[in-house]
Amino acid sequence: MTSETITAESAGSWTLGDLPVRRIGLGAMRLTGSAAFHLGTPSERERSLAVLRRAVELGVNHIDTAAFYFSSLRSANELINSALAPYAEDLVIVTKVGPYRDWSGRWGTSARPEDLRAHVEENLRQLGRDHLDVVNLRRMRQDSIAEHFGALAELREAGLIRHLGISDVEPRHLAEAQAIAPVVCVQNRYGLGHDDPATAELLRLCGEQGIAFVPFYAIAGEAGPRAAATDHDEAVRAVARAHDASPAQVRIAWTLHQGPHVLAIPGTGDPGHLAENVAAGALRLTEEDLARLDGASTV
């Protein structure tokens, strides 16, 4: 595949509430360093700014971020603000709240419902916005999300948030949230070979209800926040060879083939990898390809 000239438009579009986005976006976690959080070395600032600007040039209008995405020297929100403000009218910035890291990078007690306003306001301050387009509540192992989601719904009514989503949830949590306020997206860990019946059910429910399903770690697999996967199943490598594509592009394309409501948010701090990720939206897998990949054991 020739990556440099393919734009995000090739992946098609979906709507988050009333906000149209292209189905391939950018996850901001990896902008801050060689691995997420404090797990790697901090990124070169100008390179990260260049990735953001190039993403927009390639038609990306959906960026996923959070105030707790920072390394010892870099903040994803600050990079986004510096690179892209004043923001284009069609740019949709999605953030998430719930987890908490202190200034040193240590993980602390996750937000209580009464803490969420401060989390939202911190994202507003860092991004330089007067409202947040979409805020995902990241469930932190609590059995019920009703109180937390209800607190965000109040902030939505107050005009600080336009739309709401949920993350790391089970089907029952989607029903719980929908009884309080509309849900425009669900973010769960999901990718080629990831076998989790609850997430598969969420994927189905979201498709039936017109809700965006936005998987994270779709390329990283078991490496999670540390890096993209490098141990690819032979099926992935074979499909990649057949399409003159990279294994990462095949993973992204497989993700997008799971339904028109599925959005991809691959993260990178490398301009070359960014172009490859965006170009994966143009990769059309055959039924034979999909059958072969569905039999792969790679996660």
Q: Which residues are catalytic?
A: 69
**Residues 258, 67: Cα–Cα separation, whole Å:** 30
Q: How far is CA 297 from the centre of its chain?
A: 23
The single-letter code of the amino acid at 79 is: L
For the chain, report the end-to-end CA distance as a whole number of angstroms.
Answer: 24
The DSSP code sequence of 171-214 is HHHHHHHHTTS---EEE-B--TT---HHHHHHHHHHHHHT-EE-
User: What number of residues does the chain have?
Assistant: 299
Please, which residues bridge with residue 101 across strands? 107
**Residues 26, 267: Cα–Cα separation, whole Å:** 6
Assess contact for 187 and 215: CB atoms under 8 A: yes
DSSP reduced 3-state for 280: helix
Q: Which residues of 107-134 are buried (b: 16+ CB within 10 A; e: fewer)?
A: eeebbeeebbbebbebbbebbebeebbb
**Residues 209, 228: Cα–Cα separation, whole Å:** 31
**Residues 56, 222: Cα–Cα separation, whole Å:** 29
Q: How far is CA 182 from the centre of its chain?
A: 19
Supply 201's token pair: 């059910």
Neighbouring residues of 205: CB distance < 8 A, sequence distance ≥ 6: 171, 174, 211
